[in-house]
Amino acid sequence: MFTTTPARASEIIRPTDLHALGMVRGELSRIQALLGGLDPAEWLRPTDCAGWSVRDVVAHMIGENEELSRPTRLIRRIRAARRLAGTNDGDGRSERQIRDRAERSAEQRMAELAYWGRKATLAAERIPGPLHRMRGSVFFPAVRGAPENTIDYFIRVLMPREAWMHRTDIAIATRRPVGIGAHDGEVVRQVIRDLACAWSGPAVILDSL
């Protein structure tokens, strides 16, 4: 019988930015393959994202990547979000992302996701190292309330997680296999590390076997 000493979740190593962006590119390819097999009715199926269909999730993903590539569009959507009654900045911004592409076809959405996804990963690669330590929520509202409010955390953790999470949303909504790829475990490990940072209950051991 083999015994091992459990590793502390808080000591899980973050991926490098290049590795994280490679994960994002891999997820974008997997999403394109998934979307390419959907029929028109499946694009309208509801997802676990409350109130969003598959087509809405894709519009949101396009908007997120577009905003990273073109910060002026991020600023414009945040301002527009503040004019939407009953929403916070993040919810209102997501709503604007969806409304901005309400008339796009499935083919157009796939093409735009490929285009802006490529632009976004290139833009993230080009952010100078010293800027990674800056407060991330200034530019990326999704970092607000995260364990690390930095641009570095956004690139190395949230970008892969966002793409992975929404691919999973689409797969579940369309009853397609979620599939397990080479980096799925890395995304989940980072979730566990973040959970450990906020965990105040008794110690637990997570057995992945």
Tokens 């450990």 -> residue: 196
Average pLDDT over residues 17-23: 95
Average pLDDT over residues 38-57: 96
User: What confidence score (pLDDT) does residue 4 get?
Assistant: 63
User: What confidence score (pLDDT) does residue 208 get?
Assistant: 61
Average pLDDT over residues 167-179: 95
Average pLDDT over residues 164-170: 96
89 pLDDT tier (thresholds 50, 70, 90): low
Residue of 23 and 85 predicted with greater confidence: 23
- The whole-chain average pLDDT of the chain stands at 87
Average pLDDT over residues 174-191: 89
For residue 26, pLDDT beyond 90: yes
Domain boundaries, the chain: 45-197
For residue 206, pLDDT beyond 80: no
- Supply angle C-alpha 43, 45, 48, rounded to 5: 120
User: What confidence score (pLDDT) does residue 169 get?
Assistant: 97
Residue of 4 and 167 predicted with greater confidence: 167
Phi, psi of 75 (to 5 degrees): -60, -40
Nearest to 64 by CA among 161, 177, 152: 161
- Supply angle C-alpha 165, 110, 139, rounded to 5: 55
pTM beyond 0.85: the answer is: yes
Question: What count of other Cβ atoms lies within 10 Å of the Cβ of residue 200?
Answer: 4
1 pLDDT tier (thresholds 50, 70, 90): very low
User: What confidence score (pLDDT) does residue 86 get?
Assistant: 52
User: What confidence score (pLDDT) does residue 94 get?
Assistant: 84
Report whether 61 contacts 28 (CB < 8 A): no
